[in-house]
């Protein structure tokens, strides 16, 4: 899917997936990888990779926890959908 080294600590990257889909892969702490559907649960805008310890949506300002995807600030009322990934050597794989 992508290499672990391409995901900055404290931030993340948008990864292109088959079929025009994208995945937001983040590394909130060194060695801790998470992946989310980057579509904001509010009305579907693409969220930004984490900055300053938070994932934000540029459209209306919702904020999400980069480790769990949980909502920290609305208007979104639900969190980002997490996608299971695993680390295999230097590669991150969908699990």
- Verify binding: residue 56, ligand FES, rule CB under 6 A: no
- Verify binding: residue 73, ligand FES, rule CB under 6 A: no
With CB under 6 A, what is the number of residues at the site for ligand FES? Answer: 11
Q: For ligand FES, which is the closer residue by CB, 41 or 92?
A: 41
By CB under 6 A, name the one of 43, 51, 93, 94 that touches ligand FES: 43
By CB under 6 A, name the one of 7, 24, 25, 76 that touches ligand FES: 76
DSSP the chain: -EEGGGS-BTSEEEEE-GGG-EEEEEEEETTEEEEE--B-TTT-PBPPPPBTTBEE-TTT--EE-TTT--EEESS--S-PPEE-EEEETTEEEE-
- Verify binding: residue 13, ligand FES, rule CB under 6 A: no
Q: How far is the CB of 45 from ligand FES (least distance, A)?
A: 4
């Amino acid at each position: 899917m992508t290499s672990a080294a391409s995901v900055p600590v404290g931030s993340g990257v948008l990864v292109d997936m088959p079929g025009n889909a994208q995945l937001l892969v983040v590394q909130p702490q060194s060695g801790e990888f998470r992946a989310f559907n980057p579509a904001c649960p509010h009305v579907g805008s693409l969220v930004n990779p984490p900055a300053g310890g938070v994932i934000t949506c540029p459209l209306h300002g919702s904020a999400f926890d980069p480790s769990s995807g949980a909502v920290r600030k609305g208007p979104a009322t639900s969190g980002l959908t997490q996608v299971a990934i695993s680390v295999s050597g230097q590669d991150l794989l969908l699990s």
